[in-house]
Amino acid sequence: MKAVIAYASTHHGNTKKVVEAIAKECDVELVDVTQVREKNLSDYDLIGFASGIYAAQFHQQVKNFAQVNLPQGKKIFYIMTSAMDKDFSKSMEASISGKNAEVVGKFSCHGYNTFGPFKLVGGTSKGHPDETDLKNAVEFFKGLQ
Ligand SMILES: Cc1cc2nc3c(=O)[nH]c(=O)nc-3n(C[C@H](O)[C@H](O)[C@H](O)COP(=O)(O)O)c2cc1C
């Protein structure tokens, strides 16, 4: 199974840590969508979109990348890191609409956050993603295949 994860991780590299932990143990290609805007994904069986969450949204470049590059009828999954560790994948819906994508999994964990006033108190979710988060992410990915 050929897999790719398109990610953006611009705050503290939290999401990058997660996808790199997966790529270290599993056969998956990583694409940093803040660098790469277009890619032919037709050969991939499994396509992941990974992002830190900013104002309850996936990163705009992840949304753009999905809208521009996601072919019809693919299996997709989401990975997100956020202060609240909630499911924010609804923010991707408009970008995948009309693509007949099948969402086969979602993974979320806490990510260190120093946005705005949180910086004054030393940030929230300090130390995350931690080793357990990374282990859980690898298990999540293995479970998709
Ligand atoms: C501008 C900004 C907005 C954020 N908004 C939210 C939010 O709405 N909900 C949330 O749970 N976390 C929010 N966070 C925290 C990030 O989602 C969290 O730190 C995430 O792990 C960052 O991922 P990254 O380091 O891969 O960019 C926000 C962070 C920033 C910088």
Which DSSP letter does residue 41 get? -
3-144: CATH, from 3.30.300.20, 2.90.10.10, 3.40.50.360, 3.40.50.2020: 3.40.50.360
Q: Is 128 in the pocket of ligand 1 (CB under 6 A)?
A: no
Q: Cβ–Cβ contacts within 10 Å for residue 40, how many? A: 8
Per residue in 9-42, pLDDT tens? 999 999 999 999 999 999 999 999 999 999 999 9
Which DSSP letter does residue 13 get? S
pLDDT value for 74: 98
Question: By CB neighbour count within 10 A (0-12 exposed, 13-18 middle, 19+ buried), where does 123 fall?
Answer: middle
Q: Is the pLDDT confidence value at 45 over 90? A: yes
Contacts of 88 (CB under 8 A, 6+ apart): 53, 56, 57, 58, 80, 82, 108
Residue 129: enclosing H or E segment and its boundaries?
none
Instruction: Grade residue 121 by pLDDT with cuts at 50, 70 and 90.
Output: confident
Q: Is 32 in the pocket of ligand 1 (CB under 6 A)?
A: no
Q: Is 108 in the pocket of ligand 1 (CB under 6 A)?
A: no
Range with the lowest mean pLDDT among 6-15, 52-61, 121-130? 121-130
Written as one letter, the residue type at 125 is S
Per residue in 77-89, pLDDT tens? 999 999 999 999 9
Domain residues of the chain, as ranges?
A: 3-144
